[in-house]
């Protein structure tokens, strides 16, 4: 029986064996810190970055010496880096923190203001609910921004997709540019943060709300499990500093369960693929033991950080939208590297619930003529050893197997 598979690593990375937490301030290496200011409406992203950087430097005290602070404005690039556990501390919108929780990070503190995405139209737009916006032109922030992430989840919850619902999609880095998009009639409806919509209302702009997402946590901080800096130590220090700091305002405790809703929105890869049948994770393990080749389609940094022993790195260069009818011409993937024998057994792996690379590469393999495909996914329980420089990480793997 010929078997083609792809896997999705979706649950939390376990602690590295042998690592022991020590007291705050005894780091063997400088800290690597990521700060992604997210969608801040009218605020300058760089000023928001500076505020969080100043807060962390004060809270970390001598641990800040030599620390590398990285400013990022591209969530699409940072989600793979989070899965690869490239950073010791992450300051980011809640969808990035939600992904981090699944891959071995502990939330520490966050802003008390929730994040909520709202679908907005001009008052002259006849639509009054989501269904009535079908066929209209949609304005969004970047594909992997928290606003787009939340709105995509709501669209999927309505048994639709952005591409199916709207005739055209316009993307902007800045939310206020989306109001201009409506003024110029390039957009009929736009998705922005609730705070941005409230500001437009306060300015007496002629806008109305069509739909709102569930609320999610605001900007938050998470620390990588297994490093010398403990979550409790960092939390206590940040809360103490925030009481007297005007940089970010008050902070509140952050818990893993706070990010449950938004982290599940990442699980929007399709639940089926034509011509597949379900097999369990035990079968996957047996196939690997028999020498079935495993192709890892994650980016190179993720592969370097940790991968299944014997896995072959075959990155899928993803630029297309995360939709079932994605435009593969926008992507880069050399399907011929799967091998000339299109009846041979192979495994195609990915990482994270929001990772579409394995689905897309598997679909391209089907189109390229790989035959007798059997498929299954969403079976948990396979514990695979991921290796990096002699260290071992235990991963729970959610399976998609195409046979």
Residue spans per domain, the chain:
4-14+268-401, 32-110+219-264, 117-212
Nearest to 121 by CA among 109, 129, 113: 129
CA-to-CA separations, 292 to 3, 8, 241, 318, in angstroms, rounded: 9, 17, 53, 25
Mention every residue, 6+ apart, whose C-beta is less than 8 A from residue 234. 24, 59, 60, 89, 108, 221, 223
Radius of gyration of the chain (CA): 22
CATH of domain 4-14+268-401: 3.40.250.10
At residue 267, the pLDDT reads: 53
At residue 84, the pLDDT reads: 81
Q: Could you tell me how far CA 285 lies from the centroid of its own chain?
A: 27
d(CA 326, CA 336): 20
Nearest to 218 by CA among 267, 247, 178, 258: 258
Angle, vertex CA 364, rays to CA 359 and CA 366, nearest 5? 95
Mention every residue, 6+ apart, whose C-beta is less than 8 A from residue 356. 269, 318, 322, 326, 350
- Asked: is 32-110+219-264 a CATH 2.40.360 domain? The reply is no
d(CA 271, CA 330): 23
Confirm if 273 and 108 have CB atoms less than 8 A apart.
Answer: no
At residue 78, the pLDDT reads: 81
Angle, vertex CA 286, rays to CA 283 and CA 298, nearest 5? 85
Element (H, E) at 56: helix 45-60
Backbone φ and ψ for 158, nearest 5 degrees, come out as -90, 20
d(CA 36, CA 259): 17
d(CA 74, CA 146): 11
Fold equal for 4-14+268-401 and 117-212: no
d(CA 106, CA 256): 7
Element (H, E) at 295: strand 293-296
At residue 210, the pLDDT reads: 98
Per-residue pLDDT of the chain (403 residues; tens, 9 = 90+): 333 333 333 323 222 222 222 233 444 588 999 999 887 644 577 888 999 999 999 999 877 788 999 998 888 778 888 888 899 999 999 999 998 998 899 999 999 999 999 999 999 999 999 999 999 999 999 888 899 989 988 887 776 888 889 999 999 988 999 999 999 999 999 999 999 999 999 999 999 999 999 999 999 999 999 999 999 999 999 999 988 776 667 899 999 999 988 887 755 666 566 655 444 556 667 778 888 888 888 888 878 877 777 788 999 999 887 777 788 999 999 999 989 998 888 777 776 556 788 888 888 888 898 764 433 233 333 334 445 433 333 333 333 333 3
Count of CB atoms situated within 10 Å of the CB of 355: 28
CA-to-CA separations, 324 to 134, 310, 338, 376, 401, in angstroms, rounded: 18, 30, 22, 17, 18
pTM for the full predicted model: 0.69
d(CA 95, CA 115): 10
CA-to-CA separations, 155 to 97, 121, 178, 212, in angstroms, rounded: 22, 16, 19, 11
Confirm if 403 and 277 have CB atoms less than 8 A apart.
Answer: yes
At residue 25, the pLDDT reads: 40
CATH class of the structural domain 117-212? alpha beta
Count, residues in the chain: 403
d(CA 289, CA 385): 13
At residue 244, the pLDDT reads: 78
d(CA 139, CA 182): 8
Q: Could you tell me how far CA 269 lies from the centroid of its own chain?
A: 12
């Amino acid at each position: 029986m010929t078997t083609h598979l792809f896997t999705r690593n979706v649950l939390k990375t376990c602690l590295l064996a042998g690592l022991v937490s020590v007291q705050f301030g005894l780091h063997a290496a400088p800290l690597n810190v990521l700060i992604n200011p997210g969608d801040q409406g009218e605020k300058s992203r760089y000023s928001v970055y500076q505020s969080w950087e100043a807060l962390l430097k004060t809270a970390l005290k001598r641990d800040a010496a030599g620390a590398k602070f990285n400013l990022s404005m591209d969530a699409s690039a940072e989600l793979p880096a989070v899965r690869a556990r490239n950073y010791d501390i992450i300051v980011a919108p809640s969808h990035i923190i939600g992904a981090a929780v699944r891959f071995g990070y502990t939330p520490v503190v966050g802003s008390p203001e929730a994040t909520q995405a709202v679908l907005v139209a001009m008052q002259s737009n006849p639509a009054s609910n989501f269904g009535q916006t079908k066929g209209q032109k949609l304005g969004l922030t970047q594909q992997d921004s928290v606003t787009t992430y939340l709105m995509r989840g709501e669209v999927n919850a309505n048994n639709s997709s952005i591409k199916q619902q709207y005739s055209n999609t316009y993307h902007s880095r800045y939310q206020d540019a989306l109001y201009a998009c409506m003024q110029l009639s390039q957009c009929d409806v736009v998705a922005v943060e609730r705070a941005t919509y409230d500001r437009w209302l306060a300015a007496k702009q002629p806008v109305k709300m069509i739909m709102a997402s569930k609320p999610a946590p605001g900007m938050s901080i998470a620390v990588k499990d297994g490093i010398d800096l403990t979550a409790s130590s960092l939390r206590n220090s940040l809360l103490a500093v925030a009481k007297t700091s005007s940089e970010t305002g008050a902070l509140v405790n952050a818990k893993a369960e706070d990010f449950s809703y938004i982290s599940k929105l990442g699980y929007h890869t399709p639940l089926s693929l034509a011509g597949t049948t379900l097999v369990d994770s035990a079968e996957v393990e047996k196939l690997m033991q028999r020498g079935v080749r495993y192709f890892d389609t994650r980016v190179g940094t993720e592969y370097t950080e940790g991968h299944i022993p014997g896995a072959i790195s075959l990155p899928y260069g993803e630029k297309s939208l995360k939709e079932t009818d994605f435009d593969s011409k926008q992507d880069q993937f050399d399907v011929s590297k799967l091998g000339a024998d299109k009846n041979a057994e192979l495994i195609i792996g990915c990482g994270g619930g929001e990772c579409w690379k394995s689905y897309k590469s598997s679909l391209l393999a089907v189109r390229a003529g790989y035959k007798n495909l059997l498929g299954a996914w969403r079976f948990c329980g396979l514990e695979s050893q991921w290796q990096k420089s002699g260290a071992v990480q235990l991963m729970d793997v959610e399976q998609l197997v195409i046979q």
